[in-house]
Structure 1
Amino acid sequence: MQTVKDTVNYVSDSVKEATSTASKEANKEVAKDSNASLGTRATAAKDAVSDKMDESKHNASAEVNKQKAQN
Structure 2
Amino acid sequence: METVKNAANYVAESVQGTGATASKEANKNVAKDSDASLGTRAQAAKDAVGDKVDEKKHDTKADVHKEAAKH
| Normalised-by-shorter TM-score class | over 0.9
Post-superposition, which runs of at least 4 consecutive aligned residues in structure 1 deviate over 4 A?
none
| Structure 2 residue ranges without an equivalent (≥5) | none
Matches within 5 A, 1:12-51: 12-51=12-51
Superposition TM-score, scaled by structure 1 size = 0.99
Equivalent position of 2:56 in the other structure? 56
Superposition TM-score, scaled by structure 2 size = 0.99
Number of equivalences: 71
Q: Secondary structure at the match of 2:34?
A: coil
Deviation at 1:54, TM superposition (A): 0.1
CA RMSD of aligned residues (A): 0.2
**CA distance in structure 2 between the aligned counterparts of 1:12 and 1:23, rounded to whole angstroms:** 17
Deviation at 1:15, TM superposition (A): 0.1
Alpha-carbon displacement from aligned partner over 1:2-40 (angstroms, at most 9, x marks no partner): 000000000000000000000000000000000000000
